[in-house]
Each structure stands twice: as C-alpha cells, then as structure tokens.
C-alpha cells in the first residue's frame, strides 16, 4: 500500500474505492431529494388549480341565482332565441370572476392560470320531465304597468365545462324559473320565489325594485300543519294502512275549519316544513322507504 493510500486510510477510515462508492450514493440521494421536492411542487400546483376551479364554479352558481344573474339570463342565449329543451350556448357579459370578465370558447379566464384553466363551454336548457305546473300572476313590469299572465314553473339547467390541464370538469346548476307562453323568462332564482310569494299574498311584485306591494288590510284565518308521505301503503300489503312517520310531527287541523284547509276566500301560504325518509316494516321480509313531508300553512286573505 502506498504512503498516500495509508494516509487516506488512517484519516478517514475509508479506502479510495469506498470513497468513490460513498460519493455516488450521496449523488443519488441528492437527485432523489430534488425529484421529491419537484413532485411536491407539482402537487401543490395541482391543489391550487383544483381550489381555483371549485371557487370559479361556486362563484358562477351564486351569480346565476342572484337578481343580477337572472336579469342577464333573460338575454343570455347566444343565438338570440329563447331557451328550449336542447342545450344552447350562453354568454354572460356582466359577470366577472376575481374582477376579470368571463372568457368563453376555450379562452383562459384567469391570467394566473393561463395555460391550466379554461372555461370551455357554458350552455343551458329547460327541464322537460313531465308536465310543468302553471300559475297565474299579476305584477308590475319595469315600466310600472300591471301585467297579468299565466306562467309556467320549471327549471333551467345550466352546464359549465371547465378544462383543467387538458381534462374536462362539468358543473351543473338548476335555476328555478317562471316562463311566459313564449318561453321568455319573467322571473328566476331568488326573484322567482319573491314574486310567487308576493302574488299568493294578494300583492303586486314590482319588477324594477324587487319589492312586494301588499294591500293595506290582510287577514289571517287560521293555520294548519299537514303530514304527507309516499307511498302511503307498502307494495305487498293491501288496504289503506298509512306508513307515515309521525316522529317529527303530525296533522294539526285549522281551528277555524276543523280541517286541513283554509276557509274561503283565504288561501294557504306555505310558511315552512321539512322532508325526510325512513324505512318501515311492511310485513314478513318486507320493508319500504317512505318519503315524508311536513308542511306548515297560514290562511291569508287580502281583500
């Protein structure tokens, strides 16, 4: 063994070959650590994108259900026609996300994530399941003119497809709407609920201000609570034995009529309630899921 090798052996306790091997292991470890840090950075980036995508979709949903969104939805169809039962492109000119106008058709909506997040499509169509109910309403239009017409109650299905890192993420929103015979949106979202409630109270809803103008004299002619359930009887059991769940409440008649109804000419106004499902036994090896609904009603008359 040469003098140099002896010195190195005595100072480090390692041979030259052992030092070379140790250096290689250290290099591999360093490369692994760098790769791990890079992977962690990528994971953080992905997490940021997912959070941003979720916030974007949430912001869109809030806007669509607001009075501002309702106003814009009335003219949002790109073709200029009204909504129908097929998907149609929608353009929202006034909505902004993080102060930035909405971009569409594969154009990025955020400078920060220009290459990662894209609002790919935004479409809407009317729900066509079954025969939607109708309601006759009187209201004051934007010019203050009183209008009375029959409106259809249905849902507007909005679908936004967000593309993140070349993958599509669809988000859907259901907006309650009141439509004219020509499918013009008269009321939607929060304004629909306010307008319908105002009309049931005998008032006039002002489209321009969103206020309900009630008559000066109104009378309350009792209240009642009604419990309903479906199915009322189990499929394998005959007769009319009810399977409603009374654990949260039961029928309470109106003391004025001693029935679950209002005296004429007052009308029932829904003031609250809840829905729940329970499993009931209906015989040997028989169970049935019962959907229960407890509704609270006030009888209102506004001459």
Per-residue pLDDT reduced to its tens digit, 203-261 = 788 887 777 777 777 777 888 989 888 765 544 444 434 677 787 788 889 988 999 99
Mind listing the pLDDT tens digit for each residue in 255-274? 889 999 999 888 888 877 77
Candidate from 2-6, 143-147, 286-290 with smallest mean pLDDT = 2-6
230 contacts: CB under 8 Å, gap ≥ 6: 290, 291
pLDDT at residue 125 greater than cutoff 70: yes
128 contacts: CB under 8 Å, gap ≥ 6: 85
End-to-end CA distance of the chain: 117
> Residue by residue, what is the 3-state secondary structure of the chain?
CCHHHHHHHHHHCCCHHHHHHHHHHHHHHHHHHHHHHHHHHHHHHHHHHHHHHHHHHHHHHHHHCCHHHHHHHCCCECCCCCCCCCCEEECCCCCEECCEECCCCCEECCCCCCCCEEEEEEEEEECCCCCCCEEEEEEECCCCCEEEEEEEEEEEEEEEEEEECCEEEEEEEEEEEEECCCCCEEEEHHHHHHHHHHHHCCCEEECCCCCEECCCCCEEEEEEEEEEEECCCCCCCCCCCCCCCCCCCCCECECCCCECCCCCCCEEEEEEEEEEEEEEEEECCEEEEEEEEEEEEEEEECC
Q: Looking at the whole model, is its pTM more than 0.85?
A: no
pLDDT at 46: 74
pLDDT at 112: 61
Task: Please report which confidence band the pLDDT of residue 131 belongs to, taking 50, 70 and 90 as the band edges.
Answer: confident
Task: Please report which confidence band the pLDDT of residue 1 belongs to, taking 50, 70 and 90 as the band edges.
Answer: low
Token pair for 166: 């070349």
- Distances from the Cα of 135 to the Cαs of 16, 132, 148, in angstroms? 93, 10, 10
pLDDT at 232: 58
> CA 193, 272, 138: angle at the middle one, nearest 5?
30
Largest CA distance in the chain: 118
């Amino acid at each position: 063994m040469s003098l140099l090798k002896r010195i190195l052996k005595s100072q480090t306790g390692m041979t030259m070959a052992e030092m070379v091997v140790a250096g290689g292991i250290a290099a591999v470890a360093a490369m692994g650590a760098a790769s791990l840090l890079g992977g962690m950075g990528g994971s953080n980036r992905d997490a940021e994108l997912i959070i941003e995508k979720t916030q974007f979709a949430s912001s869109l949903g809030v806007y669509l259900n607001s009075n501002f969104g309702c106003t814009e939805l009335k003219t949002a169809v790109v073709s200029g026609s009204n909504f129908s039962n097929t998907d149609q492109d929608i353009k929202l000119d006034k909505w902004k996300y993080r102060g930035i106008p909405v971009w569409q058709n594969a154009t990025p909506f955020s400078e920060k994530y220009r290459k990662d997040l894209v609002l790919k499509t935004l479409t809407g169509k009317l729900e066509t399941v079954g025969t939607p109910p109708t309601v006759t309403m009187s209201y004051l239009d934007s010019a203050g003119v009183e209008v009375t017409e029959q409106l259809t109650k249905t849902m507007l299905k909005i679908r936004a497809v967000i593309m993140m890192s070349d993958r599509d993420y669809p988000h859907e929103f259901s907006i309650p709407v009141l439509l004219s015979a020509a499918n013009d949106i008269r009321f939607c979202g929060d304004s629909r609920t306010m307008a319908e409630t105002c009309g049931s109270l005998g008032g006039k809803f002002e489209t321009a201000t969103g206020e309900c103008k009630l008559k000066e004299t109104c009378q309350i002619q009792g209240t009642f609570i009604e419990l309903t359930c479906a199915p009322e009887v189990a499929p394998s059991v005959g007769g009319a034995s009810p399977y409603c769940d009374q654990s949260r409440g039961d029928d309470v008649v109106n003391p004025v009529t001693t029935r679950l109804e209002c005296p004429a000419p007052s009308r029932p106004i829904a003031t609250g309630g809840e829905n729940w499902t329970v499993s009931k036994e209906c015989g040997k090896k028989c169970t049935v899921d019962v959907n229960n609904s407890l509704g609270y009603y006030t009888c209102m008359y506004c001459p």
